[in-house]
Structure formats: C-alpha cells, structure tokens
C-alpha cells in the first residue's frame, strides 16, 4: 500500500509544541511526514527557548502597535508530497491540498483580536485547496464557527494525543504534589506553590515539587520549607521521572488554551486539580480525572489569590485523605490516554481518514 506523503508546514523553523513531536514519532499507519527533522517537541536549551519566545512575542507586539492584522499564512516549497499539514498556521499554496490544526483562532492571524482580517481569512478558508480545519478542542471549533460560520463544514475536532507510558510507581508512604509549567506566573505557579506550601505543612507525609523558572524572590520566600523541591527548565526525560514519582498534579494553568502538561500528567496516572479556563472541562473530566475549580473574574496571576488557594487546598486534601478516590481517578487518567479521546489510536484513526479525504 502506497504511503500518503504529508508535508508539515510550521510558522517557525523550530516549533516547540509537543503536538508535532508526538505526531511524527507516532504517525498514523500509511502516513509519511516530511519536513520533520527540526521537530524536537520541547526546547530544553534555556537561552534558545527564551530567544524564540521573545522573538514571537515581539513580532506580535509590533503588528499590534500599528493596529493592523493579516493572515498567518506560509508558502510550502514544491515537492513530492500529497498534502500539506499546516502546524499552527494556514497555507498560501495554490497547487496542493492542505489541512491545518488550530489550538486557538489567534493562530490564524497576526494582530489584535478586534482586528481579525475576516474577509482575507474567509477567502483562504473557503479556497478549494483548504480541505479541513482541525480544531484541537470543541471550544476552538465553536470559537471559529462564531467568526466564520461559512466554514463550519470544514471543521473537524481532532484532540491531541500522547503515547501511554510504561512505568512502575515506586512503593512509598509519602504523597508527592507537583506543579510544572514554563511560565511560572501565567501557568498559576504562584497560587499552586502557596497551596503546596500549606499542604506540606498540613500533612506529615506530603511533599511538593515545583518544576518552573521560579523568580528568586518567590523561591527565597518558600526555601525554608524543606519539603518542597525546586527545578528549573529540565529535559523531558527528567520531567517524566518527576511525574512518575508524583501522585497529584496541582496546575491552575491560567494562560493555557490547551496545555500538554495535563495529558502528560494523566499518562502517569496523576489526577489534576486545576482552575477553569478555555477548554479546561474538555480536558479534565470533573470528578473522574480531577477537579476543576471556578475561576474568578478579576484574576491577577502576579498576586496570590486566597480563594483559589483555599479551593486548591480543599480539593487536593480530598485526594490525600481518600486513597480510594485518588486511585480511581488515577486509573481513569490512564484509560483516557490508553484508549480514550487523547489516545494515539483515536487520533490516528481520525487523521488518516482526513488525509485520505483531502488528497
């Protein structure tokens, strides 16, 4: 059977989303991805990571400053392939069919949301070569439908997926809580750290792990608590060791439109306690794979929110004090990665059908 050749088109030379790492390493049967060499999934070089994000952030700021906006389109080179898969962007190509996976509508353009270039984007999305738009979640699908109802027939949700993990939990009497996120404040690190600090003092057998670039002034405040360990940016292998040895994922995730940390934690059987946000309740099944706390209207990630901390402590305490509940949630987490909506099996089946239709 001849393989379908799919050219991956990125908006940046070195994309840093785990989505494409897991896509390339676990391709659907009969699919061959081209332009996959630069995909490392996670940038672990600290200097390059900050430079890359500085560059992207300031390009968007530059466009915003002039009050304009334009489609985030890229031209793929001619070559021996059947279809283009646009990663976080759209295509300029006129001679090849293409699909695009979209984490949020903001990836379709550069500029302010109030200045979405609707007429230009609509023309691109309605072009005959645009075969499918693949929102990561139902929330993104709804977001796109509200702005571009004419392309509803081209929208098909394909949830991201990650491989199930082969691991053995170490036998221990302690319970380890973990927060992990690149951007400490915007991922809710301040509230998570405060909650973990309280919980490690409340329970003798509870310890905490913080994997993030924690500002020194914040770290100094909590360093006296010897039951909390701090890590900066680390290789994925090391992060997975931390997940393996942890029991509960404490992750508010304020800025996430998706958040691969949820899936990676679930793959190690970690129930999540998080705060409501975009698509959050699609990812965390309330009462089954974790708890989702209500988000206040006027949230400031730079300041400790006492009500959120109080709710984080309350929900994590439920899991600490109820081993049966924690075990059930852990099993549900592994199920959803092994054969549920975030499984490779489900994602690959959908993607293969889409590629076959598009080519």
Averaged over successive runs of 10 residues, the pLDDT of the chain (359 residues) comes to: 90 71 93 78 47 52 62 92 94 95 91 79 95 97 96 97 88 92 94 98 97 94 95 89 96 92 96 96 96 93 96 98 97 96 97 94
Q: What is the pLDDT of residue 65?
A: 57
Q: What is the pLDDT of residue 38?
A: 58
* 265: Cα within 13 Å, side-chain hemisphere: 27
Q: Judging by beta carbons within 10 Å of its beta carbon (0-12, 13-18, 19+), is residue 352 exposed, middle or buried? A: middle
β-pairing, 272-275 vs 248-250, is: parallel
Question: Domains of the chain, with CATH numbers?
Answer: 4-161+343-358 (3.40.50), 175-338 (3.40.50.2000)
Q: What is the DSSP letter of 165?
A: P
* Under 8 Å between Cβ of 248 and 325: no
Which tokens hold the place of 215? 């500002």
Q: What is the pLDDT of residue 166?
A: 87
* Under 8 Å between Cβ of 199 and 316: yes
Q: What is the pLDDT of residue 111?
A: 73
Q: What is the pLDDT of residue 347?
A: 97
Q: What is the pLDDT of residue 41?
A: 47
262 three-class SS: helix
Handedness of CA 231, 235, 240, 241 (dihedral sign): negative
125 three-class SS: helix
Q: What is the pLDDT of residue 5?
A: 96
* Under 8 Å between Cβ of 117 and 70: yes
The phi, psi pair for 305, rounded to 5°, reads: -95, 110
């Amino acid at each position: 059977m001849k393989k379908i050749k799919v050219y991956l088109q990125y908006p940046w030379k070195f994309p840093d989303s785990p989505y494409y790492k897991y896509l390339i390493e676990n391709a659907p049967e009969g699919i061959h991805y081209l332009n996959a060499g630069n995909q490392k999934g996670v940038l672990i070089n600290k200097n390059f990571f900050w430079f890359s994000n500085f560059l992207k952030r300031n390009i968007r700021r530059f466009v915003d400053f002039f009050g304009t906006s334009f489609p985030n389109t890229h031209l793929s080179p001619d070559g021996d392939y059947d279809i283009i898969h646009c990663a976080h962007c759209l295509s300029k190509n006129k001679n090849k069919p293409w699909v695009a996976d979209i984490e949020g509508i903001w990836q379709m353009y550069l500029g302010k949301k109030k200045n979405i270039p609707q007429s230009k984007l609509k023309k691109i999305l309605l072009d005959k070569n645009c075969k499918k738009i693949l929102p990561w979640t139902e929330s993104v699908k709804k977001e796109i439908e509200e702005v571009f109802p004419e392309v509803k027939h081209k929208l098909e949700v394909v949830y991201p997926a990650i491989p199930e993990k082969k691991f053995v939990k170490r036998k221990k009497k302690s319970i380890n809580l973990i927060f992990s996120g690149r951007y400490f404040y915007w991922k809710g690190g301040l509230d998570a750290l405060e909650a973990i600090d309280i919980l490690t003092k409340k329970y003798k057998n509870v310890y905490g792990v913080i994997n993030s670039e924690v500002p020194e002034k914040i770290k100094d405040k909590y360093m006296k608590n010897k039951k909390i360990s701090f890590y900066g940016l680390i290789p994925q292998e090391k992060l997975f060791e931390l997940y393996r040895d942890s029991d509960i994922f404490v992750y508010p995730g304020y800025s996430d439109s998706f958040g691969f940390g949820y899936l990676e934690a679930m793959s190690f059987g970690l129930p999540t306690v998080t705060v409501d946000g975009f698509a959050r309740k699609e990812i965390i099944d309330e009462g089954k794979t974790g708890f989702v706390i209500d988000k206040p209207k006027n949230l400031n990630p730079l300041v400790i929110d006492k009500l959120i901390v109080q709710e984080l402590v309350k929900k994590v305490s439920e899991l600490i004090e109820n081993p049966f509940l924690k075990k059930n949630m852990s099993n549900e987490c592994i199920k959803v990665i092994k054969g549920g909506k975030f499984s490779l099996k489900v994602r690959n089946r959908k993607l293969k059908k889409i590629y076959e239709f598009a080519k």
